[in-house]
Structure 1
Amino acid sequence: MRWELDWLDNRARLSPEKDAIIDEKTNQAWTFKEVNERAKSVASWLLSQGVRKGDRVALLSPNDISYFDLLFACGKMGAILVPLNWRLSQHEISEILQDCTPVLIGIHQQFETIYEQLTNVGPNSFLIRAENHLEISSYPISNSFTEDIIETDPLAMIYTGGTTGKPKGVVLSHQSILWNAMNTIISWSLTAEDVTVNYLPMFHTGGINALSIPVLMIGGTVVIGDQFTGQKAVESINRHRCTIILLVPTMYHLLIQTDDFQGSDFPTMKIFLSGAAPCPLQIYEAFQKKGLAFKEGYGLTEAGPNNFYISPEDARIKRGSVGKPMLFNSIKLVKPDGREAKNNEVGELLIKGKHAFSFYWNNEQATSETLMEGWIHTGDLAKRDEEGFYFIVGRKKDMIITGGENVYPLEIEQWLAEHPDIDEVAVLGLPDKKWGEIVTAFIVLKDSSTVGEEELRPYCEHKLGRYKIPKRFIFLEELPKTHVGKIDKKKLKEMSTII
């Protein structure tokens, strides 16, 4: 293996006794030296089980040290880690396993009830229990890591959420993961003093690549978060003296409503980051009132996921902006006719850089439709202001065309979310014979609120053009969410047919 690819081995040499990983639930800590030794032991064990370069090793587990053990082990001996979304049905997981054909699958004891059913799909399996995993992570280290591994070799394969169709296996090379981390460290000015607690699921790129790998690479500390609650997050941030954290908007929505958030001044925190979906402006307000630095970013499994940087000072002024392209990636906005969008024009967001994914597993057509001449066509719409700051407008597929007018749901969602009686909102277009599509708002009200369409329609008229005002308001007790906390608009569209 080329020495520069095994950065963990080098980090263990530079910071051997520094705490690298801490388990929030048990408070057990592992130094960089210990993490590196565990990875070498697990790699040796994988080789003893017949795993070879290019083979897939799947993992079904809640957030756990086993993710790092297997990712770093695969990196040392050339295998490909496939983390599985445990929130999927057994049928969906089986379909993914049939697609990626792993030679081995690790299943955490928490999912022991489906252990036998999943083993029937083909791969050999091992159950991750505390005592059993301890044996694997202390397996005698061999000197047989002799495969010639290069930057473009695959290291991980992360399946997309599948809210728009069948999940696709996004193949990430050593190069893409390495360059995303280096780009993040340099562009965001991460240091060895940084500490983060990770509540994002580690089967998702946000849980592994957004902050965990960059923080570890620079010599900082990652706390593996257990199940998220706002109260627990505040306690953990302060107990571990965290400096930076990434949460999704739905998590922040819960966090800012807790008494613990209101009662803490978060003395060690440098910045709160939001990702995965556009952030409601009232969350900005909550942090600004407390004098806390808050900003949001943008990414996707196929690119990074980190692509932009904005300073906390600019984030206060340019609310909703994800900032400017980071140091080692390029961005362009393209109109439907192929020309580049001018300032304040909306175009599809295209991304290019060494952090880009390699291809979709077993899916040449999807690869060719997404990756063209090195540019990732994200399917997201964005605009850039005169000062070069980018704003995400929404998904290309979510844009509503009503009576010939283009409507971007995010603008309406942001305004409705500011209403004091609204807890959550999602806007999408539903088929209509007259208008083509009608703007439809799905609303969750705050407790005890009785506000209705009669009050919300004139409220919208204060800010929105007539064609943007929802023609239909649907009130729900809660909005369906995807496995990473995004509002599931596909599910909402399905629900609308029976409401």
Structure 2
Amino acid sequence: MIRNTLEHLHAVGRMHQIGIINLLRPDRLLRAAVNNARLGPQAALIMKAAAEHPDAPAVTDERGTLTYRQLDEQSNALAHALNGLGLPERSVVGVLARDHRGLLLAISATARARLRLALMNTGLAKQQLIEVSAREKVQVVLYDEEFADVVDGLPDTITRYVTWGSASGTPIDELIAAHPATPLPLPSQPGGFIILTSGTTGLPKGAPRTKVSPLASALIADRIPFPRQGAAVIASPLFHSTGFGAWTVGLSLANHAVLMRRFDAERILQLIAEHRAEMLVAVPTMLTRILSLGPEVIGKYDTTSLRTVFVAGSPLAPELTTRFQDIFGDVVHNVYGSTEVAVASVATPDESRRAPGTVGRPPVTVHVALFDAEDRRITEPGEIGRVFVRTGIPFEGYTDGQRKQVIDGHMATGDLGHLDAEGLLFIDGRDDDMIISGGENVYPLEVENLLAQREDVVEAAVIGVDDAEFGTRLRAFVVLTDDATRDPQQIKDFVRANLARYKVPRDVVFLDELPRNPTGKVVRRLLPTGPLPEAG
């Protein structure tokens, strides 16, 4: 109890240092705390920024810029429109939208209208959207026009409005124009929101957040330098926890969110230069695409304002971190976490330089522990175990009733990892990705990171496939640079020269690109596991 109290006091102190709260203005602090408790953090923070910095830019997208006052007022108008539907409190509104003002308005307005928001993955197929919407009991859908065909499969009883475009239905702009911008009464309790897991192995699960601790911002910003009233280019999708969390912390600092509906590597550099952005929020594959532009294109843009690159969503290869920092400076903050546990640890730029591949240390109020297969605590450096996390943002369980294993208050992440002598955490792979080949344990991530060190390899993925002799054998899927020679034996010889014999892939398959979901994670179930055609 005493330890928790001290941790919370430390977190409050860090929030004051970072600028998220001002302990010297208890009046503002109390008002913000009340709004957060009744609305949830996103709507409450927009209201706070609108009161303190009304004319500061809140968001820029393809349509231009909205100030915090405009974002606040338009959120109120849209909330009035949603209230007019007469839905019971905490009814679920689904939003299927890319990153733009319409998505931010949907997030803020549903909270003000006493409704619950389900953030839908833009990669959902029609049948998946039908199943997820039924499971989450969605009654209203806000969607971008480009997803009209996907939304078309939903029951006619679900009300629909368009967040971007106008040809397929009523745009939210019309709703906003037709309703007052006056504040609504605060709800008795927050409606909360639901973020979907990545769904790389099946239908995405729903991870609800009803009450978010005011300390959540400290958890994210403790080891990651955020701008204060500065610009951040958020390239990671907002429907996922990485982009969503970074944007939320940015709200607490009255930052300017620069959004793009579709990823474009050169456009990111343009936006950083144009807005003198101090932060980029991205997933690892985006860094790969930026580096692939080459020095001539990269050199066209002044990116010296960049202080922080917040990277999360999938494993970040040590070689990629080094190459990116050699060009853009020591700016990469490698974040390890998940939809369920939020931020578990962060590797600062100097930690990545000193210990390539580390995911760093836990931020304030977070604790990481390793357990073996018999649920015994692992404390020896270098010993691999299952990664568990205890966090200040407790997981409420999936909306389908499933839960993660919990030991001593620490929840399983599904990953395997180890600690070094300094206490830095390393992730060795997914618990269910471990391959047993010929009686030996192989972690694909180790082989993937090694292959990424080759100058002719853009990215690689390794899986296990059935083998009559060994039970399972390794199959490597490799994406090469345009000028590289597709020689499987070269790949095998390279692994053999650096790792144990049983870690050498017996199959090497060259692809133009790896199958990924919208958050950048490799969808391994889409990689072919059947017999390969004979060479020649």
TM-score by length of 2: 0.85
Report the Cα offset of residue 235 of structure 1.
Answer: 0.8
Q: Give me the whole-angstrom Cα distance separating, in 2, the residues matched to 1:464 and 1:325.
A: 30
The one-letter code sitting in structure 2 at the alignment partner of 1:395 is: R
1:125 aligns with 2:164: no
Correspondence for 1:330 among 349, 367, 386:
367
Q: Give me the whole-angstrom Cα distance separating, in 2, the residues matched to 1:448 and 1:291.
A: 25
Paired residues of 1:424 and 1:445 also in contact (CA < 8 A): yes
The one-letter code sitting in structure 2 at the alignment partner of 1:126 is: Y
Q: Give me the whole-angstrom Cα distance separating, in 2, the residues matched to 1:480 and 1:433.
A: 27
1:37 aligns with 2:76: no
**Where does residue 144 of structure 2 map in the other structure?**
108
Alignment of 1:358-377 (within 5 A): 358-361=396-399, 363-364=400-401, 366-367=402-403, 369-370=404-405, 374-377=409-412
1:78 aligns with 2:114: yes
Gaps of 5+ in 1: none
SS at match of 1:22: strand
* Residue deviations 1:116-169 (CA, integer Å, cap 9, x gap): 44353x3122233567322333421466535311xxx55111222222122211
Correspondence for 2:444 among 395, 401, 409:
409
Q: Give me the whole-angstrom Cα distance separating, in 2, the residues matched to 1:188 and 1:420.
A: 30
The one-letter code sitting in structure 1 at the alignment partner of 2:145 is: Q
Q: Give me the whole-angstrom Cα distance separating, in 1, the residues matched to 2:520 and 2:52.
A: 37
Identify the range of structure 1 (384-393 vs 280-289) with the bigger mean alpha-carbon deviation: 280-289
Report the Cα offset of residue 319 of structure 1.
Answer: 1.6
**Where does residue 350 of structure 2 map in the other structure?**
313
SS at match of 2:498: coil
1:93 aligns with 2:133: no
Identify the range of structure 1 (82-91 vs 285-294) with the bigger mean alpha-carbon deviation: 285-294
* Residue deviations 1:172-205 (CA, integer Å, cap 9, x gap): 22315x5432322343242424321112222222
**Where does residue 478 of structure 1 map in the other structure?**
513
Paired residues of 1:421 and 1:451 also in contact (CA < 8 A): no
Gaps of 5+ in 2: 1-32, 38-43
Report the Cα offset of residue 95 of structure 1.
Answer: 0.9
Q: Give me the whole-angstrom Cα distance separating, in 2, the residues matched to 1:2 and 1:187.
A: 27
Identify the range of structure 1 (156-165 vs 407-416) with the bigger mean alpha-carbon deviation: 156-165
1:485–1:381 distance in 2 versus 1, CA, 3 Å:
same
Report the Cα offset of residue 445 of structure 1.
Answer: 2.2
Report the Cα offset of residue 265 of structure 1.
Answer: 5.1
Paired residues of 1:332 and 1:350 also in contact (CA < 8 A): yes
Alignment of 1:147-186 (within 5 A): 147-149=187-189, 153=190, 155-175=192-212, 178-186=214-222
RMSD: 2.3
**Where does residue 145 of structure 1 map in the other structure?**
185
* Residue deviations 1:429-449 (CA, integer Å, cap 9, x gap): 112233222122112222242
Correspondence for 1:8 among 28, 46, 67:
46
Correspondence for 1:428 among 452, 463, 468:
463
Identify the range of structure 1 (188-197 vs 402-411) with the bigger mean alpha-carbon deviation: 188-197
Q: Give me the whole-angstrom Cα distance separating, in 1, the residues matched to 2:224 and 2:286.
A: 22
Q: Give me the whole-angstrom Cα distance separating, in 1, the residues matched to 2:285 and 2:173.
A: 35
Paired residues of 1:173 and 1:357 also in contact (CA < 8 A): no
Q: Give me the whole-angstrom Cα distance separating, in 2, the residues matched to 1:88 and 1:274.
A: 23
Q: Give me the whole-angstrom Cα distance separating, in 2, the residues matched to 1:398 and 1:482.
A: 18
The one-letter code sitting in structure 2 at the alignment partner of 1:274 is: V
SS at match of 2:388: strand
Q: Give me the whole-angstrom Cα distance separating, in 1, the residues matched to 2:212 and 2:152.
A: 36
1:40–1:374 distance in 2 versus 1, CA, 3 Å:
farther
Q: Give me the whole-angstrom Cα distance separating, in 2, the residues matched to 1:189 and 1:288.
A: 16
Report the Cα offset of residue 340 of structure 1.
Answer: 1.5
Correspondence for 2:238 among 191, 202, 208:
202
**Where does residue 136 of structure 1 map in the other structure?**
175
The total of aligned residue pairs comes to 486
Q: Give me the whole-angstrom Cα distance separating, in 2, the residues matched to 1:296 and 1:143.
A: 39
1:408–1:154 distance in 2 versus 1, CA, 3 Å:
farther
Q: Give me the whole-angstrom Cα distance separating, in 1, the residues matched to 2:279 and 2:88.
A: 37
Identify the range of structure 1 (14-23 vs 182-191) with the bigger mean alpha-carbon deviation: 182-191
1:400–1:113 distance in 2 versus 1, CA, 3 Å:
closer
**Where does residue 383 of structure 2 map in the other structure?**
345
Paired residues of 2:234 and 2:281 also in contact (CA < 8 A): yes
**Where does residue 500 of structure 2 map in the other structure?**
465
Paired residues of 1:428 and 1:441 also in contact (CA < 8 A): yes
The one-letter code sitting in structure 2 at the alignment partner of 1:202 is: L
1:42–1:90 distance in 2 versus 1, CA, 3 Å:
same
**Where does residue 357 of structure 1 map in the other structure?**
395
Q: Give me the whole-angstrom Cα distance separating, in 1, the residues matched to 2:439 and 2:486.
A: 31
Paired residues of 2:103 and 2:163 also in contact (CA < 8 A): no
Alignment of 1:169-248 (within 5 A): 169-175=206-212, 178-209=214-245, 211-248=246-283
1:391 aligns with 2:423: no
* Residue deviations 1:410-441 (CA, integer Å, cap 9, x gap): 11111111122222211111122332221221
